[in-house]
Amino acid sequence: MSRIAYVNGQYVPHKDAAVHVEDRGYQFADGVYEVCEVWQGNVVDMPRHFDRLGRSLRELRIDWPMSRAAVEFVIREVVRRNRVRNGMVYIQVTRGVARRDHFFPTDDVAPSIVVTARSTSPAAAEEAASKGISVITYPENRWPRVDIKTVALLPNVLAKQEARERGSKEAWYVDVNGMVTEGGSTNAWIVSKDGVLLTRPAEGGILRGITRAVVLDLIAREGLAFEERAFSVDEAKQAREAFVTAASTLVMPVVRIDDTVVGNGHPGSTATRLRELFHTATDFMAV
Ligand code: PDD
């Protein structure tokens, strides 16, 4: 079966899907995106992803390309047409196509929208989670507005590529005070050596992850010891457990930070439990 993408009003074969060379997303990274999990034929946490998309658009003064209901329809349609039961759906909105000029276009330029979907293997994800991943630490080098989910991901690309070249899956950004901000495409968590779950407050230096928000709900529901505060690299290396969260990884245990083994080198019990419970706390939009 061939893949289908939605591009500015049309469903097209994925291999032919293209935007204009003067799309501002291509020229200036002038756009935003969302990645949602598809789980057992449902798009997970659509309302929260829509709220964050709306906020990202507002912060950059880009209009919605069409109504929220219409975007929702297209998302369902793309997932359905690609027969994705488990996987990801990707939504990107840019300021649109205009002659290259740094200033916002002055005439009425419609925002561009692209929606794609692809299947992933739940078995492969569970296999990865049963082993855990390693992360490297990497100096924070991004702009301060990382709360906006923009497609300007070059620093993240370079950090993650370095992680890969050093045999790791993720890079944890570290601010000038030696505190972990977040991963290149994930939020960062530890269970401190005293058994307290820690993650950095959403107010500074991180993207407000939707998976993070679900895990916060789970922690409250399960009554786990938790503090929302920044933690240092040293604290993380001495932690009982570490893990990352994202729509693409859900709760993924971290078993090594640079050359330091975390805990006993195996996925921790808290991370494993939060992963197991994850979909008991999510919202579902049936496709
Ligand atoms: N990344 N921090 C960064 C920098 C991210 O890029 C992401 C998501 C997250 C986690 O957010 P959420 O829980 O809403 O997925 C945190 C997506 C998955 C990506 O770029 O592929």
Same domain, 74 and 172: no
Q: What is the mean pLDDT of residues 224-244?
A: 98
Give the tens place of pLDDT for each residue, 18-59. 999 999 999 999 999 999 999 999 999 999 999 999 999 999
The pLDDT assigned to 29 comes to 98
Same domain, 101 and 219: no
Q: For residue 240, how far is its CA from the centre of ligand 1 (angstroms)?
A: 24
**Hey, is 159 helix, strand or coil?**
helix
Q: Identify the domain boundary among 71, 101, 120.
A: 120
Distance CA 255, CA 262 (A): 5
Same domain, 211 and 231: yes
CATH assignment of the domain containing 274 = 3.20.10.10
Q: Identify the domain boundary among 96, 120, 144.
A: 120
Same domain, 133 and 97: no
Distance CA 32, CA 25 (A): 8
- 15 included as an active-site residue: no
Q: Which of 97, 77, 92 is nearest to 11 (CA)?
A: 77
Kindly state the percentage of the chain with pLDDT values over 90: 98
State the catalytic residue, choosing from 15, 131, 149, 169. 149
CATH assignment of the domain containing 33 = 3.30.470.10
The pLDDT assigned to 204 comes to 84
Same domain, 133 and 274: yes
Q: For residue 186, how far is its CA from the centre of ligand 1 (angstroms)?
A: 5
Shortest-distance Cα residue to atom 9 of ligand 1: 186
Hey, which bits of the chain come out as E strands?
A: 4-7, 10-13, 31-39, 42-44, 87-94, 112-119, 133-139, 170-174, 180-183, 187-191, 197-199, 226-228, 241-246, 250-257, 260-261, 284-286
Give the tens place of pLDDT for each residue, 14-25. 999 999 999 999
Q: Give residue ranges with CB within 6 A of ligand 1.
A: 35, 182, 185-187, 207, 209-212, 245-248
Same domain, 16 and 134: no
Q: Identify the domain boundary among 120, 151, 186.
A: 120
3-state helix, strand, coil split of the chain in percent (to 5) is 30, 30, 40
Same domain, 113 and 149: no
Give the tens place of pLDDT for each residue, 105-141. 998 999 999 999 999 999 999 999 999 999 999 999 9
pTM, rounded to two decimals: 0.98
Residue 275 pLDDT more than 90?
A: yes
Q: For residue 33, give its domain range.
A: 4-120
Residue 62 pLDDT more than 90?
A: yes
Q: Name the band, by pLDDT with cuts 50, 70 and 90, for residue 1.
A: confident
Q: What is the mean pLDDT of residues 266-278?
A: 98
Question: What is the number of other CB atoms lying within 10 angstroms of the CB of residue 250?
Answer: 22
Give the tens place of pLDDT for each residue, 158-208. 999 999 999 999 999 999 999 999 999 999 999 999 999 999 999 989 999
Assess if residue 287 is contained within a domain.
Answer: no
Shortest-distance Cα residue to atom 4 of ligand 1: 185
Same domain, 89 and 225: no
Average pLDDT over the chain, rounded to whole?
98
Same domain, 178 and 64: no
Q: Which run of H or E residues covers position 128?
A: helix 122-131
Tokens for 157, please give them: 């690309």
| Domain count along the chain | 2
Distance CA 263, CA 41 (A): 36
